[in-house]
Amino acid sequence: MQLDVDIRKVLRSGKRTFHLNVRFNASSQRIVIIGPSGAGKSLTLKAIAGLMTPDSGHIRLGGRTLLDVQAGINLAPQARHVAYLFQDYALFPHLNVRQNVGFGLAHGWFNPHERDRHATVDQWLDAFHLSVLAQQFPHQLSGGQRQRVALARALVSQPQALLLDEPFAALDPALRGQMRGELDALQRRLQVPMVLITHDPQDARVFGEQVVQLHDGAVHDAFEAEELSA
């Protein structure tokens, strides 16, 4: 998948200003953006999803122009067909697991009923070993289970790319390794292109076919995975 990012944004909070000036061109199924906190990783990922609008620049994903400020193109998040895995998963607290997973499949004004069955949802619940938890609510789940629900919810509508914001940061170290393995296997099985942001070099070693290094709002370096392990 081709990901072409060239964005600029100035953020002010109080007296501090932060300049985001990110420019990279990646072509791989597994892209990792790595950098310390405050480097602008989350902002970059949010810009790709349409949750943050840059002041200028463009974003192209798999041949589609998601954003081109100069040409006046700015697709709504709803129209970008990407999935976003939030750091703390952002599961809907008032909906059970089944309703959370099926959320994106129902487009009306109301949520599907607690017991509404949907073949696609069932299939994803099965694939993520969530069937027995279908009636549970997010606050009743463990960290790993929450992540599985969030992944299933993200993938159920067959997005063109999966964006992951520090997917393992909220997990304890033992679970982290296991979930890394699960995500690795899942991505290989589904072949869904992914963009993952992290501050953990281990994530880059496992997922980084291509690695973009951010520092202070700008691209520090971009390289292939082989160089990282060398």
Residues that bind another protein (CB under 8 A): 49-51, 76-78, 80-84, 86, 88, 90, 92-94, 103-104, 107-111, 137-140, 153-154, 157
Burial 19-55 (b: 16+ CB within 10 A, else e): ebbbebebebebbbbbbeeebbbbbbbbbbbbebebe
> What are φ and ψ of residue 82, in 5° steps?
-115, 160
Closest distance of CB 152 from another protein, Å: 12
Which CB sits closer to another protein, 156 or 211? Answer: 156
Minimum Å gap between C-beta 91 and another protein is 8
DSSP character at residue 39: S
Which of residues 86 and 228 has its CB atom nearest to another protein in the complex?
86
Min dist. Cβ of residue 110 to another protein (A) = 6
Residue whose CB is less far from another protein, 5 or 141:
141
Tokens of 38: 């405050």
Cβ closer to another protein: 76 or 230?
76
Residues 44 and 47: their CA atoms lie apart, in Å, by: 5
Nearest CB to another protein, comparing residues 35 and 159: 159
CB nearer to another protein: pick between 95 and 219: 95
- Residue 103 C-beta: closest distance to another protein, Å: 6
Q: Which three-class secondary structure state does DSSP give residue 199?
A: coil
Using the CB atoms, write b or e for 129-150: b if 16+ within 10 Å. Answer: ebeebbebbbeebebbbbbbbb
Looking at residue 122, the DSSP 8-state letter turns out to be H
Please state at what angle helix 173-190 crosses helix 143-155, rounded to 10 degrees. 20
Give the residue with the Cβ less far from another protein, 72 or 108: 108
Helix or strand (DSSP H, E) at 87: none
The amino acid at residue 163 is: L
Minimum separation from the CB atom of position 38 to another protein (A): 19
Question: Whole-number minimum distance, CB 177 to another protein, in Å?
Answer: 26
Nearest approach, Cβ of residue 160 and another protein (Å): 12
